[in-house]
């Protein structure tokens, strides 16, 4: 299929009006509290939560009237006070390689004005990965990352994190009985469109620990969205004090954005390193609950020309990771407007990969996906920021 990269589609009707609270994204405990609040008898709560859960997360119901095994009275009671609204899709872009990027807008909560984030879907022949965001913007200011140049930052709620998967499943026809779109590539055969979730979009997940942990619980629930914890990866720049808790309480897979093997260089690339240096970070990885040869920790390493890509650094990487069940993901640097970094030359990346591979580690080079729509790693930045800047310029002219 020959796909043209599409330009962003802006929907004129996507203004989010503060309305009824949505149940999409709620945890079981939140649904139970809501039902209690509506006067449902304690003896019925568990069963009713189970029914709602099935409709919301397994069936992807869009209206309470679809929930046929729930009595009419309760259905109308819920419909009067709650909605099943998903985050608004403000824009959708499809890359030539089938990667999709959505700009999502969340409804305002209280004083908050609502927020916009980007979420990316990457289809491969045997799997489909959804890359989701945990914060609006990011405070880390990693030198090579575009997302870090965005100013506005806030944590996403559990519901806003879960909402990303619900929207993506809907857009991809990945709920029972729905039809998949024909304008993009999807995994082949019986493989479901979305099999994996990575917290590698905007934000630092471990700065939003509780919401990320609870969201992992909802995503992994076998009676609902059913993404196994082995297929959910939380990526961190190295918030050391939260790493053990992630393993214990969320039980997800762990990825570390390493990018450098010496503190002096890592201090400049990933400023968080000044607070939590390599020694502490690697000690936390060694102790990560649940890590084993079957559940390896992923180390991400962005290949920056002349900065971190020498053979000596590859050997040092191998030495540092000794004793940690690890795989190493080499990421060709994705350029963005205004960056001073360049991607390493291909033979440098290959030589680096070979040293790591010969030391016994899987060292795949991550194929850049969705570059034509700025959907690749580190390129995410709210599209509306650019649109607003354009509007400002037009107003000043
Ligand atoms: N804050 C978390 C989650 C973001 S993950 C973390 O740092 O792990 C996004 C991944 O893409 C990180 O590994 C990040 O370092 C990497 N990345 C950022 N900018 C990039 C770029 N321009 N090219 C390639 N990878 C990049």
Q: What is the pLDDT of residues 89-100, one digit of tens each?
A: 999 999 888 899
- Mutation choice for ligand 1 from 122, 134, 205, 235, CB with most ligand atoms inside 8 A: 235
- Provide the 3-class DSSP secondary structure of residue 268: helix
Q: Is 119 a catalytic residue?
A: no
Whose CA is closest to atom 5 on ligand 1?
A: 200
Q: What is the pLDDT of residues 344-384, one digit of tens each?
A: 999 999 999 999 999 999 878 887 777 777 766 666 654 44
Kindly report the backbone phi and psi dihedral angles of residue 234, in degrees, each rounded to the nearest multiple of 5, phi listed first.
Answer: -100, 125
Closest to 302 (Cα-Cα) out of 257, 238, 347: 257
Domain 88-392 carries which CATH code? 3.20.20.70
| pLDDT of the residue at 394 | 54
pLDDT greater than 80 at residue 9: no
- Provide the 3-class DSSP secondary structure of residue 334: coil
pLDDT greater than 80 at residue 8: no
The finding on whether 344 has its CB within 6 A of some atom of ligand 1 is no
pTM over 0.75: yes
Whose CA is closest to atom 11 on ligand 1?
A: 377
Task: Please report, rounded to a whole number, the percentage of residues in the chain having pLDDT higher than 70.
Answer: 87
Cα-based distances in Å from 198 to 128, 165, 252, 255, 376: 11, 11, 10, 9, 13
CA of 378 to the centre of ligand 1 (A): 5
Distant-in-sequence, close-in-space partners of 213: CB < 8 Å, separation ≥ 6: 245, 246, 249, 250
- Provide the 3-class DSSP secondary structure of residue 230: helix
Start-end ranges of CATH 1.10.150.530 in the chain? 21-83
Domain 21-83 carries which CATH code? 1.10.150.530
The finding on whether 284 has its CB within 6 A of some atom of ligand 1 is no
pLDDT greater than 90 at residue 307: yes
- Provide the 3-class DSSP secondary structure of residue 94: strand
Q: Is 354 a catalytic residue?
A: no
- Mutation choice for ligand 1 from 300, 336, 343, CB with most ligand atoms inside 8 A: 300
Lowest mean pLDDT: which of 72-76, 109-113, 259-263, 378-382?
378-382
Distance CA 13, CA 6 (A): 20
Q: What is the pLDDT of residues 314-353, one digit of tens each?
A: 999 999 999 999 999 999 998 888 899 999 999 999 999 9
DSSP string, 179-215: PPPSSS----TT--S--EEEE-SSS-GGGGHHHHHHH
The pairing of strands 135-136 and 154-155 is antiparallel
3-state DSSP: the chain helix, strand, coil percent, rounded to 5? 35, 15, 45
Query: Whose structure tokens read 């002096």?
Result: 264
Start-end ranges of CATH 3.20.20.70 in the chain? 88-392
Cα-based distances in Å from 105 to 121, 265, 381: 17, 37, 13
Q: What is the mean pLDDT of the chain?
A: 88
| pLDDT of the residue at 384 | 47
pLDDT greater than 50 at residue 14: no
């Amino acid at each position: 299929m020959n796909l043209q990269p599409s330009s962003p589609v802006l929907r004129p009707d996507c203004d989010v009006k503060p309305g009824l609270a949505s149940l999409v994204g709620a945890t079981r405990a939140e649904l139970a509290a809501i039902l209690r609040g509506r006067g449902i008898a304690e003896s019925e709560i568990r069963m009713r939560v189970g029914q709602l859960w099935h409709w919301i997360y397994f069936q992807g119901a869009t209206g309470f009237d679809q929930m046929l095994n729930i009595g009419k009275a309760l259905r109308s009671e819920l419909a009067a006070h709650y909605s099943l609204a998903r985050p608004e899709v403000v824009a959708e872009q499809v890359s030539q390689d089938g990667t999709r990027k959505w700009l999502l807008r969340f409804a305002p909560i209280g004083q908050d004005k609502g927020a916009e984030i980007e979420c990316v879907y990457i289809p491969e022949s045997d799997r489909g990965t959804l890359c989701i965001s945990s914060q609006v913007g990011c405070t880390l200011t990693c030198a090579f990352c575009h997302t870090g140049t965005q100013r506005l930052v806030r944590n996403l709620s559990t519901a806003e994190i879960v909402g990303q998967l619900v929207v993506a499943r809907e857009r991809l026809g990945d709920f029972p009985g729905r039809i998949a779109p024909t304008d993009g590539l999807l995994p082949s055969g019986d493989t479901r469109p979305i099999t994996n979730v990575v917290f590698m979009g905007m934000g630092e997940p471990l700065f939003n620990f509780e919401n990320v942990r609870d969201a992992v619980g909802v995503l992994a629930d076998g009676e609902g969205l059913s993404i196994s914890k082995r297929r959910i990866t939380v990526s961190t720049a190295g918030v050391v004090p939260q790493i053990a808790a992630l393993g214990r309480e969320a039980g997800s897979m762990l990825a570390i954005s390493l990018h450098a093997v010496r503190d002096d260089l890592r201090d400049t690339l990933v400023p968080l390193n000044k607070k939590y240096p390599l020694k502490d970070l690697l000690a936390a990885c060694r102790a990560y609950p649940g890590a084993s040869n079957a559940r390896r920790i992923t180390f991400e390493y962005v290949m920056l020309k002349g900065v971190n890509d020498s053979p000596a650094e590859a050997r040092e990487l191998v030495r540092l990771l000794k004793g940690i069940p690890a795989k190493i993901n080499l990421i060709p640097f994705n350029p963005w407007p205004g960056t001073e970094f360049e991607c390493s030359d291909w033979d440098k990346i290959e030589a680096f990969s070979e040293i790591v591979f010969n030391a016994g580690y899987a060292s795949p080079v991550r194929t850049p996906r969705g570059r034509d729509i700025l959907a690749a790693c580190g390129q995410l930045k709210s599209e509306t920021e650019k649109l607003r800047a354009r509007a400002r310029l037009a107003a000043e002219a």
